[in-house]
Structure 1
Amino acid sequence: MMWVDVCAKYVGKRYDADNYNCRHLAAAAFTDLTGYDANSVFGTGANEGKFKRLKRGDFKRLQTPPSGLCVLILRDKYGQTHVALKQGMEVLHNLGSFSFGQVCLSRWETIRDEYKDFQYWVLK
């Protein structure tokens, strides 16, 4: 799937701390975008055997954000870890919590101003 299609598929989906948090979104969207099963990497479920299973060793960390697809790991002002997908200047992530949270698409500049301690991970 293309980035725009994946965003359209997930934007607006409701947050659920146990069953649909940022890790679930990242695993599902990354799988849709790459065709690799990312569930084991994000600890969100078992490999169903439909796609090649990814391992942490399949990724490399970059020091600066790439222009292409990357997994973005960051911390908020409370020290909580958040995971999202970044493509170009857009970030697909869960925003909010409890019954008010949902998947959204944000500009990179907004995310960069709201979070800290960024890590950028891409497939090797």
Structure 2
Amino acid sequence: MGNRRQSREFAMQALFDMDMSRDSSDERFSLFCQNFDPPEKAKPFLIKLYKGVVAHKADIDSMIDRFSSNWKIERISCVDRNVMRIAVYEMLHCDDIPAKVSINEAIDIGKRYGTDESGAFINGILDSIRKMIDQKNC
């Protein structure tokens, strides 16, 4: 497994912890890292993803909410919600990562940690967000 995949998986788990504890403090994130001990090579991108999602969470959630027909953001499973948050953050703020890579990674992680429906659900929402971002950038 590549370093970025590991970073994304640990970021999803840290964001899951943030959602469950309702605590996005640096102390909580440090405690998460102490308990789960992500590999050193994965930490820089993990930190970037976690802090980036936390900083832009309201905007990211608004985009997900807009394209998740009949699903309020708080009703989406915690795994799916956080996998999508990471992918949307990457599409908006990581110019070195193609949107399709972010989406494919999200689908794979969603399938691994989510439900049987997670992959298709995540793909549908993220592809709609990608199209909107592409239109804005034209």
TM above 0.5, yes or no, is no
TM-score w.r.t. the length of structure 2 is 0.29
TM-score w.r.t. the length of structure 1 is 0.31
Bigger helix share? 2
Bigger strand share? 1
